[in-house]
Amino acid sequence: MSHYIPVLFACVDASFHFPSGSELTDAHEILSGLHDAGALWLDTSRNWWHLFLAQTMARAQGVEGLEFLDEECITIQGKELGTIEASIGRLLEAIRDNEISFSDEQYARYAEIVARPEHLMRLSTIKPNPRNVDGSEQASCGSDEQMAISFYCFLISLKAVTGEALRKGKSLLWVVPPP
């Protein structure tokens, strides 16, 4: 069974603190306020394939700093934001330069899609999108390009919000709601 549940992220005041192991319910009030203010970013992909592919590719490349993607709810601040921003940048470079050796069979199809040269040509044109929804439900209809663009957009959007939090001395709020 497939689930289409977004991951949520935002630049928030540094006074908000949700340590590793926090849950969605811990952040419910702030999420509601961010949603009402239009400041909550979301990324939706089938069974969170964006997350798993990013994690698997990062491990394959030896890119550290993206371990927070495993968390249900966490805030990140300070120098960790710089590490995350740089790590996402290194991952995007590795994808762009087609340097990722990928052996995980479960995500090999997705990895192959995002590494296609005709899709990679679009990478430099993609802008951050606060409402990114992937096209994986349409994959059987030939929307591989949309899937690739959506994955790139996830990384680019997360990097942009992380960079904003770093520059403004704020925190990154990251939430992965359970299905």
pLDDT of residue 112: 80
Which of 157, 171, 11 shows the shortest CA–CA distance to 79?
171
pLDDT of residue 63: 92
pLDDT of residue 138: 46
pLDDT of residue 7: 94
C-alpha 136/C-alpha 115 separation (Å) is 16
C-alpha 28/C-alpha 92 separation (Å) is 31
**How high is the mean pLDDT in each 10-residue block of the chain (179 residues)?**
83 96 94 96 86 88 93 96 97 86 67 86 92 63 78 96 98 93
CATH architecture of residue range(s) 4-175: 3-Layer(aba) Sandwich (3.40)
Check: CB of residue 75 under 8 Å from CB of residue 171.
Answer: yes
Whether the full predicted model's pTM is greater than 0.75, yes or no, is yes
- Domain boundaries defined on the chain: 4-175
